[in-house]
Homo-oligomer: A and B are copies of this chain.
Amino acid sequence: MTQIYDRVALIGLGLIASSMAHAMRKHGLAGEIVGTARSAETREIARQIGFCDRVVDSVEEAVKDADLVVLATPISAMAGIANQMKAHLMPGATVTDVGSVKRAVVDAIGPRLPDGVHFIPGHPLAGTEHSGPRSGFAELFEGRWCILLPDGTTDIAATERLRSLWEAMGSNVDLMEPDHHDLVLAVTSHAPHLIAYTMVGVADDLRRVTDSEVIKYSATGFRDFTRIAASDPTMWRDVFLSNKDATLEILGRFTEELFALQRAIRTGDGDHLHAYFTKTRAIRRGIIEAGQDTDAPDFGRVKAGR
Main secondary structure of the interface of A (DSSP, over half): helix
Q: Is the CB of B204 within 8 A of A199?
A: no
A152 at the interface (CB under 8 A from B): no
Q: Is the CB of A299 within 8 A of B297?
A: no
Interface string of A213-256 (1 = CB under 8 A from B): 11111111111111111110110111011001001101101110
| Given A222-B187, A280-B204, A217-B125 contact (CB < 8 Å) | yes
Q: Is the CB of B241 within 8 A of A268?
A: yes
A156 to B300, CA, bound (A): 37
A261 to B280, CA, bound (A): 26
What are 14 A-B interface contacts by the 8 Å CB criterion? A142-B303, A188-B214, A189-B220, A192-B221, A199-B254, A204-B283, A214-B283, A215-B286, A215-B292, A216-B292, A233-B281, A241-B273, A293-B304, A301-B301
| Chain A residues within 8 Å of B, Cβ to Cβ | 125-130, 135, 137, 139, 142-145, 147, 172, 174, 183-185, 187-206, 208-209, 211-231, 233-234, 236-238, 240-241, 244, 247-248, 250-251, 253-255, 257-259, 261-262, 265-266, 268, 270, 273-274, 276-287, 290-294, 296-306
